[in-house]
């Protein structure tokens, strides 16, 4: 069962969902939210990582706008609210909060010292920036929106990065995908997997574009990636 903890920053404090593995000391993964806040889907990701032997922590990155956002993708009103939050969100402050979360988690006695990150949608972009701007030991990005605008930052990449791209992603145009692939496919620290026929959020359980087979494939790759790089 998960629990909630509080993480302090220079600007204030925010909550984070924590799921603990059975082992007393474990590598950790920071789970980076979509535009729906720390909701049941994100808590489920944490719980699955904990079941696989990782200490999983999902920080509330919307806390500067509205603490405690927990909505779904199931109604028009929730989508409207999600995009309002997305448009008000400060990406740089979000990455700083992720860096603070990584430091917090790494200092926990139950953490092995290795900390990775995985993000989805908005969190996919943030996972990419976490890879380039923080000391995350390994980062995984699912269908990140806007990565192509930050490709110059890849020169700062010091640790492994895994990217999942949905080939029919309505929020990541083909031109953006081509830029990402052209610039990153031969980078020694980067692994990229593309998923033919898949739309945005194909790994979001219960979502409109959820695909069980490719979600299982992508999640298996992510798990193997963390097992290799956070050991």
HSE of 164 in the Cβ direction (CA atoms, 13 Å)?
30
* Residue 133 near residue 187 (C-beta atoms within 8 A): no
Element spanning 3, H or E: strand 3-9
Token readout for 167 is 């080939």
Element spanning 43, H or E: helix 40-51
* Residue 69 near residue 40 (C-beta atoms within 8 A): no
Q: Is 169 a catalytic site residue?
A: yes
Given 169, 199, 211, 214, the catalytic residue: 169
Q: What is the DSSP string of 39-101?
A: -HHHHHHHHHHHHTT-EEEEE-TTTTTSTT-B--SSSHHHHHHHHHHHHH--HHHHHHHHHHH
Q: Is 159 a catalytic site residue?
A: no
Given 73, 104, 137, 200, the catalytic residue: 200
CA 87 to chain centre: 18
Give the active site residues.
169, 200
């Amino acid at each position: 069962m998960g629990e909630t903890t509080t993480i302090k920053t220079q600007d204030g404090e925010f909550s984070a969902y924590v799921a603990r593995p059975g082992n007393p000391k474990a590598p950790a993964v920071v789970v980076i939210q979509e535009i729906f806040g720390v909701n049941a889907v994100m808590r489920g990701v944490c719980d699955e990582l904990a079941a696989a032997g990782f200490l999983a922590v999902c920080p509330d990155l919307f806390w500067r706008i509205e603490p405690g956002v927990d909505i779904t993708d199931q109604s028009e009103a929730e989508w409207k609210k999600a995009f309002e939050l997305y448009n008000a969100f400060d990406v740089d402050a979000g990455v700083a909060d992720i860096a603070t979360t990584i430091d917090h988690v790494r200092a926990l006695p139950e953490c092995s010292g290795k900390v990775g990150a995985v993000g989805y949608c908005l969190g996919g972009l943030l996972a990419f920036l976490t890879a380039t701007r923080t000391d995350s030991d390994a980062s995984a990005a699912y269908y990140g929106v806007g990565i192509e605008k930050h490709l110059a930052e890849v020169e700062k990449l010091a640790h492994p990065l895994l990217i999942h791209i949905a080939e029919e992603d309505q929020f990541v145009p083909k031109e953006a995908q081509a830029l990402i692939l052209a610039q990153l496919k031969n980078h020694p620290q980067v692994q990229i997997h593309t998923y033919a026929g898949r739309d945005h959020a194909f790994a979001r359980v219960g979502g409109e574009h959820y695909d069980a087979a490719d979600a299982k494939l992508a999640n298996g790759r992510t798990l193997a990636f963390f097992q290799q790089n956070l050991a």
